[in-house]
Structure formats: structure tokens, C-alpha cells
Amino acid sequence: MEKLERPIIVPWDFSQVAENAFQHAVNISKALNREILLLHVVHEERDKDSRRGELEASIEKLGNEYGKKPHFEVVSGSIFHAIGESAKELKAEMIIMGTHGLKGAQKLFGSKALKVVVSSRIPFLVVQDKPAKETIDTILLPIDFKRENKEKANWIYYLARNFGAKFIILKSNAKDKGFRRKILSNIKYVESFLKGHDIEYEIVTTSGKQSFKKEIVSFAIEHSADLVLIMATRDIKWVDYMLGAPEQYILANPENLPVMCMNPRPAKIAGGFRASGGA
């Protein structure tokens, strides 16, 4: 596998949504000064060589059209594991993945995208459409009652440092007193972090008239957010995919918003051992 300095990985299946993801990668590579690697996954090892010609044609086309020639790699295995494993091996900066929305049969792809995302500790930027502009100026940061919200702090700093973005904190308007207490704790933690690092932000509370996941998408559109920053639920289970986890809806949102999703650190149990695997 080609050794690059913390590359931006774009899973590549020759589709338009993959090309949309590449366009986002071109913009972000300018801010991060990183190379782009197209990663194509085949089921069998014997199929790898047969796709190289198509990939070479793709990188020539993309380089000519967008002014940034990517590298490429072909790996074999399941898409649900190969992307995350390759990203870890390459010490990738991030993964920018194109996905389909929620219309018709494509609804299934929302769960598939989430399964790929939770396979890796490396941040995913999940996109459906072409970038609306070259810069990321406004980032929507939803905060609810879950403890893993506090882990967004490091990524806030990363995005603010590299993109100079302003953050809009969207506070969930929960009715349950216990949830409200946890939300307030998360808000105080994140706000203290933002103030301590001199990061521009504002806090807005949702109306509570819709589910939080739908209010996130509506608010992002109304306030022209360039990116939504979310954290996946810790130790997400198969039943969450079946019932439709909130992250699933946001990743494949009907407004085609770019969404950056990270996985929380594994939970710890007595004795300091981690409750699940991962770096």
C-alpha cells in the first residue's frame, strides 16, 4: 500500500457521489496540505488487477478536471471493514465518503454508510452533493444528553484551527428533567472549551416541535451551515440500524448536507479495560 503523509481517503466506486466526495477532498486538501487517495474495494483478491486500468483513467480525468491528481489503491474485502482498516494502516487524516440519500431503495444506504463510519476511529466526512463553495465557514454542532458529546471538543479545535470556522451550538430542547440536566452539563463543558480556545460561537435552543434529528437538518439549512458535526452513539447495536439510528438519518439527510461523524472512545469498565476494541 502506497505510503503517503496522512492522506485524505476517498472511497471510490466510479459513481457520481464518489466524484462529489473527491471535489470536497480537493477543497479540504488545500486547507490541510494533504494528498488524496482513491480507495477502491473489491470482494476478491483476484479482482484487484482488473480494476487498475479503470482507476488510472479516473485519476487522469480527475486531475485534469479539478487540478489535483489523486493517488489510488485497490484492496480486497468487505467494504464495512476494508475502508476503516486501510485508513488506520495509512494513518489517514480523514475519510470523505459519498453516499446516497433517503429516497426509495437508497434508504438502505443510510444504514450501510453508518456501518462503514463506525468501523473506524478516523473521522468521516459523509457527502451526497458537490460542495456549495470551497471553504467551511459555519459548522453546526448539535448537543444532546449523551456523554459522548463532550468528546467533540478536540474536533472543534481541529476544525477551528484548520478552517477558521464559526460554530453554532444547537441545544436539544428536552422535556425530561434528567436529560435537561445532562444537556446543560454538556453545553457548559463545550462552551468552556470554546471560550478557552478563543473560538467564535453562538448557542441556540431548538423549538422541540420536531425530533432533534429533523431540527438539526432544518436549522442547518436555515442558517446556511457548511457542515454538521456529529458523534456516533457509543457501542451502537444492530437494532439501532434496524430501527434507524439518528445518525443514520443525519448522514443521509434529505437536504444533502455534508456531515462529519466521529466515533467516541470505547467505554471503560472496572479495572480500566475498554469495553470494546479500537485504537
Phi, psi values for residue 56, rounded to 5°: -65, -40
What is the pTM (predicted TM-score) of this model?
0.86
Q: Which cell is 95 given?
A: 475519510
Note the pLDDT of residue 44.
Answer: 87
| pLDDT for res 269 | 33
Please list the pLDDT of the chain residue by residue as tens digits (279 residues): 667 899 999 999 999 999 999 999 999 999 999 999 999 999 888 888 888 889 999 999 999 999 999 999 999 998 888 999 999 999 999 999 998 654 433 343 445 667 777 777 888 999 999 999 999 999 999 999 888 888 888 889 999 999 999 999 999 998 899 999 999 999 999 999 999 999 999 999 998 889 999 999 999 999 999 999 998 765 555 444 433 467 788 888 889 999 998 876 654 433 332 322 232
| Beta bridge partner(s), residue 72 | 38
Contact 263, 120 (CB under 8 A): yes
Q: Which residues of 50-81 are buried (b: 16+ CB within 10 A; e: fewer)?
A: ebeeebeebbeebeeebebebebbbbeeebee
Residue 225 within a domain: yes
Question: Given this model, what pLDDT does residue 62 score?
Answer: 97
Instruction: Give yes or no: residues 57 and 158 share one domain.
Output: no
SS3 category, 101: coil
**Residue 119 confidence (pLDDT):** 72
- pLDDT value for 3: 77
Residue 151: its pLDDT value, please?
82
Give the pLDDT of residue 270: 33
* Residue 23 confidence (pLDDT): 97
Residue 272 is given by DSSP the state G
Q: Minimal CA–CA distance to 103: which of 245, 220, 252?
A: 252
| Same-domain status, 261 and 175 | yes
pLDDT at position 278 is: 30
Amino acid 172 reads S
Query: 175-186 in b/e burial notation, b at 16+ Cβ within 10 A?
Result: eeeeeeebbeeb
On whether residue 119 sits in a domain, the answer given is no
Which residue type sits at 58? S
d(CA 269, CA 267): 7
Q: Are residues 93 and 144 in the same domain?
A: no
**How far apart are alpha carbons 11 and 118 in whole angstroms?**
15
In this structure, what DSSP letter does residue 249 have? H
| 108 in a structural domain | no
Domain identity same for 167 and 259: yes
Are both 53 and 143 inside the same structural domain? no
**Domain end point (choices 48, 76, 98):** 98
Q: How many domains is the chain partitioned into structurally?
A: 2
Range of the domain at 227: 138-265
